[in-house]
Amino acid sequence: MSAGWLLRRLLLVAYTVLVVSVLVFAITQVLPADAAVTLLGENATPEALAAVRDRLGLNDPVWLQYWRWLTHAVAGDFGLSMRTGQPVAPMMLVALSRSLLLALLSILLMLAIAVPLGLWAALRQGRAADLLTGLVSYIGVSVPEFVTATVLLMLLADWLQWLPATGYVPPGEDLWDSLAHLALPVITVSVIMVAHVSRMVRSETIDVLHSDYIRAARLKGLPERAVLLHHTLRNALLPVITIVALDVGYLLGGIIVVEEIFAIPGIGRQLIVAITARDLPAIQAGALIMAMTYAIVSTLADIAYALLDRRIRYD
């Protein structure tokens, strides 16, 4: 991995975020919302509305409004929320940290289940275990998040009363209580990821097991355990890095439903509240921060792939 490739990748991230910022700003400009009316209310006088529009620069050309917004956003200033009057950036970053915590725990649980499950299915290809794993995977992919969440709520929170149904507790206040409140949403999010990652691990493991270097390793007399752990599993898991990076995009966008059901104040739920209230600065900040996070995670995945697979050259 050369410094030139890394520089080009970072420039691509910057370009992607710039394009997204243009799209986000353009979309918020055409939304049926008037910032002045949102701030002052429907009963405000035309003179008061005109004064607010002038103060906020809403009468300026669109390109000038975008440039002003972008320069402030680069400095970490996304303005004030029209709903709360508080700075948008700290609010969205705190919400992002909650979503990332949910995503991280979901990914760890998914890997702990999907990798052994996919490996087990590959080693028993065509047998009952393989068919059972495939059936579980298809069910996991097919069932929507809100159905899985509802079933888990009824079973674990209502009937058995093992876990709290909704709410969020910061880990700094009470770690165990925080994990208990996150358990149901983490399981819900993990179900779908386990489905496609286990299928990916199974497919890649089968391909690796039929490769020439695995046959050569066995002909050398290496123990089957060493063949599986040091040769098969390492190469079969490389594509999982890409899948996990793509799943981060799903997690930041797809867990909006999960956050809403379990009342977790993550960035997805904050974005829904902002859209409902037509809070334009919060909408712009939430969408741009989510895009930046996804671009950064994708870049880190590419770097990890390059470091783990020496056969790939990035010049």
Q: Are 119 and 154 in contact (CB under 8 A)?
A: no
Indicate the angle between helix axes 88-123 and 267-276, nearest 10 degrees: 130
- Mean pLDDT on 174-192: 88
pLDDT, tens digit, 9 for 90 and up, residues 253-291:
667 888 888 888 888 888 888 888 788 888 889 888 888
CA nearest 26: which of 60, 66, 57?
66
Q: What is the rounded distance in angstroms from the CA atom of residue 9 to the CA atom of residue 20?
A: 16
CA dihedral 243, 246, 247, 249 (to 10 degrees): 180
303-308 CB contacts, 8 Å cutoff, 24+ apart: 303/1, 303/6, 303/9, 304/241, 305/238, 305/241, 305/242, 306/1, 307/1, 308/238, 308/241
Q: What is the rounded distance in angstroms from the CA atom of residue 71 to the CA atom of residue 87?
A: 16
Residue 264's CB is within 10 A of a number of other CB atoms, namely 22
Q: What is the rounded distance in angstroms from the CA atom of residue 255 to the CA atom of residue 81?
A: 23
Query: Mean pLDDT over all residues of the chain?
Result: 81
Residue 143's CB is within 10 A of a number of other CB atoms, namely 14
Q: What is the rounded distance in angstroms from the CA atom of residue 112 to the CA atom of residue 114?
A: 6
Structure tokens at 260: 């809403």
Q: What is the rounded distance in angstroms from the CA atom of residue 10 to the CA atom of residue 295?
A: 9
Q: Are 26 and 287 in contact (CB under 8 A)?
A: no
pLDDT at 313 over 70: no
What phi and psi values does residue 80 have, to the nearest 5 degrees?
-105, 145
Q: Could you tell me the pLDDT band of residue 5, with boundaries at 50, 70 and 90?
A: confident
Q: pTM for this one?
A: 0.82
Q: Could you tell me the pLDDT band of residue 312, with boundaries at 50, 70 and 90?
A: low
Which residues, at least 6 apart from 230, have a Cβ–Cβ distance to it below 8 Å? Answer: none
Q: Are 161 and 183 in contact (CB under 8 A)?
A: no
Which residues, at least 6 apart from 27, have a Cβ–Cβ distance to it below 8 Å? Answer: none
pLDDT, tens digit, 9 for 90 and up, residues 130-180:
788 778 777 777 888 888 888 888 888 888 888 888 888 888 888 888 899
Residue 176's CB is within 10 A of a number of other CB atoms, namely 9
Residue 107's CB is within 10 A of a number of other CB atoms, namely 20
